Amino acid sequence: MQNIIYLWATIILCIHTNNKCGFLVQGLTSSTDIEALKAFKASIKPSSITPWSCIASWNFTTDPCSVPRRTHFTCGLTCTTDNTRVNQITLDPAGYTGTLTPLLSQLTTLVTLDLSENSFYGTIPSSLSSLSNLQTLSLRSNSFSGSIPPSITNLKSLQSLDLSHNSLSGFLPNSMNSLISLRRMDLSFNNLTGGLPKLPPNLLDLAIKANSLSGVLQKTTFEGLNQLEVVELSDNALGGNIEAWLFLLPSLQQLDLANNTFIGVEISRPVVGGGGNSLVAVDLGFNKIQGYVPANLGAYPSLSFLSLRYNALRGAIPLEYGKSKSMKRLFLDGNFLMGKPPAGLVGARAEVSGSLGDNCLEGCPVRSQLCTAKQKPSSVCRQAYRGRAAR
């Protein structure tokens, strides 16, 4: 009697630990998952499935989740520990091309879907919103087009979204702030247009470089984003004024707004023990910013990289910049700055590198690396300051 119980226990254990004890275990994968995987494979062009790729090993004469995987399903997917459901699809960058089947939505236990660096095309199926356990979605470096389906904002578990390097267009979904678990979002190198909607509240890392975003940066877009560390919005068509609140976001470390059409910047002093103290790098180069160089940035205690190059700034370089203890690299070239640079920047003991060239400075000592690039011809500078008081 005891032996029989033992034998039963062993069989049940073997089923549950997926055949680790050598019994032949039948296919256990749920039929809806198998159907979805078959549809997924069927929508990939056979000519793009090379012999040693993961998808080539997806041979449905065996069960996808059954182990050991010696010849079939050797890579590209993983299953839940009970071998009944698929929980991860991470394809190899083997050059697969084809569209994405909406049936992927049947893989409801999927935690990771990573198809990056292939040649998938067509629209992103809005049915992906059914993947309520999805934490990572990467479609980076493919050829997806159309707009980002608004339904993906239903993905409450999503922590990382990477749709960069595709051909996505249209507006960003309006209800992006309902992505409550999202930590990282990279939508760079697409052709997204329109303004920024209110962002996910727990975001750490925002990158939407090289798109066609326009409009001004609104305070409501960033309101409550107390964990936001990185903002990369360079190479867009954003404009208007950059306001003081942006620099005071409590966790902000890197801000890259280069190559947009901003016309002004307002910066207040950092808040003691509060906003602005984490800010390390600010790039506002290649905009159309007018007015004086914002002196208050010199008071940000961690700021070590600052670029305001190629704007339309005038007046003197603020003395505050020479007093900064954190500044290591400073690019103010390509403006109309005049007068003598602060000794703290160009003196014998200064340790700041970068460039102050292509301005209207006088007495920029050539022994300083900051001053090696030439200043503007004096005719250009006279023209720029004609009829205006310098400061």
Ligand X SMILES: *[C@@H]1O[C@H](CO)[C@@H](O)[C@H](O)[C@H]1NC(C)=O
Binding site for ligand X (CB under 6 A): 59, 61, 169, 191, 193, 212, 235, 259, 286
- Closest CB to ligand X among 59 and 81? 59
- Closest CB to ligand X among 59 and 132? 59
Structural tokens at position 334: 């390509």
Beta strands in 58-140 (DSSP E): 77-79, 86-90, 97-98, 112-114, 119-122, 136-138
Least distance to ligand X, CB of residue 283, Å: 10
Please tell me the distance from the alpha carbon of residue 297 to that of residue 247, in angstroms, as a whole number: 9
Least distance to ligand X, CB of residue 123, Å: 15
Least distance to ligand X, CB of residue 310, Å: 8
- Closest CB to ligand X among 166 and 359? 166
Q: Which residues does 351 contact at the CB level (< 8 Å), separation at least 6?
A: 328
- Closest CB to ligand X among 35 and 362? 35
Is residue 133 exposed (0-12), middle (13-18) or buried (19+ Cβ within 10 Å)? middle
- Closest CB to ligand X among 40 and 286? 286
Q: Which residue has the tokens 């703290």?
A: 344
Least distance to ligand X, CB of residue 236, Å: 9
Q: Which residue has the tokens 């990771």?
A: 112
Q: Which residue has the tokens 């979904």?
A: 173
Least distance to ligand X, CB of residue 367, Å: 29
Least distance to ligand X, CB of residue 183, Å: 27
- Closest CB to ligand X among 3 and 71? 71
- Closest CB to ligand X among 2 and 61? 61
Please tell me the distance from the alpha carbon of residue 216 to that of residue 24, in angstroms, as a whole number: 63
Structural Rg of the chain based on CA atoms: 28
> H or E segment at 33?
helix 31-42
Nearest alpha-carbon partner for 162 in 125, 205, 101, 202? 205
Least distance to ligand X, CB of residue 57, Å: 9
Please tell me the distance from the alpha carbon of residue 33 to that of residue 257, in angstroms, as a whole number: 44
